[in-house]
């Protein structure tokens, strides 16, 4: 398995994984926009020539990174791919001291995953998703 930067030809695979894994709908244009504004913060995991997971993020301050989307193909979950994507993202931004993200409050697996990586729930955000459901704001401070 290789973690590398997103390339234009990955767009359909990333779109498909997002569609199957995430409740919100995201357009290909959105992914391309995210790639344009933060190319170092858009990574994919490739296994035997196939994209099997991705992570996207944006810089929201000189020392701050917001993780926007993280998803791994169902077949490959629980094998360390999500962890590798997150770790590589942090390596790409050594100056970052605060990482944060939002996740659905009923997404127990994701919450557990982020807690395992040192994130803590900071706040509940009402009416965060388009279906009106709530999110947890989770944060990791690097000293
Ligand atoms: C959340 C998500 C990205 C995690 O990715 P992942 O690749 O499954 O994560 P990892 O494999 O690195 O870690 C998950 C679990 O596998 C375990 N694991 C890690 N490496 C492993 C290995 N080599 N063999 C077996 N298990 C392993 C981890 O300890 C962890 O344990 P847990 O079952 O107690 O939680 C993935 O579940 C996903 O895509 N979910 C749907 C989309 C989503 O909810 N995204 C987050 C929204 S913000």
Tens of pLDDT along 92-143? Answer: 999 999 999 999 999 999 999 999 999 999 999 999 999 999 999 999 999 8
How far is 96 from 87, CA to CA, in rounded Å? 13
Tokens found for residue 100: 């944060």
Ligand 1 pocket check for 135: Cβ under 6 Å? no
Domain count, the chain: 1
Ligand 1 pocket check for 74: Cβ under 6 Å? no
pLDDT in tens, 56-79: 999 999 999 999 999 999 999 999
Q: Which protein residue's CA is at the shortest distance from atom 10 of ligand 1?
A: 80
Q: Which protein residue's CA is at the shortest distance from atom 28 of ligand 1?
A: 78
How much distance in Å is there from the Cα of 82 to the middle of ligand 1?
Answer: 6
List the domain range (segments joined by +) for residue 117: 2-141
How confident is residue 1, by pLDDT bands cut at 50, 70 and 90?
very high
What single DSSP character describes residue 33?
A: H
- Report the pLDDT averaged over residues 27-50: 97
| Long-range contacts formed by 57-62: CB under 8 A, 24+ apart | 57/89, 58/34, 59/93, 61/98, 62/95
CATH code for position 51: 3.40.630.30
How confident is residue 8, by pLDDT bands cut at 50, 70 and 90?
very high
């Amino acid at each position: 398995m290789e973690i590398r930067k997103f390339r234009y030809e990955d767009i359909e695979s990333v779109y498909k994984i997002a569609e199957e894994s995430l409740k919100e709908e995201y357009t290909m244009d959105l992914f391309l926009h995210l790639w344009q504004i933060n190319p170092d913060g858009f990574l994919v995991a490739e296994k035997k020539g196939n994209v099997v997971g991705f992570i996207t993020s944006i810089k929201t301050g000189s020392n701050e990174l917001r993780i926007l989307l993280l998803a791994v193909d169902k077949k490959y979950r629980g094998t360390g791919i999500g962890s590798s994507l997150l770790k590589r993202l942090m390596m790409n931004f050594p100056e970052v001291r605060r990482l944060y993200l939002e996740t659905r409050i009923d997404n127990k697996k994701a919450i557990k995953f982020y807690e395992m990586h040192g994130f803590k729930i900071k706040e509940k955000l009402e009416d965060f998703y388009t279906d009106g459901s709530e999110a947890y704001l989770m944060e990791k401070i690097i000293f």
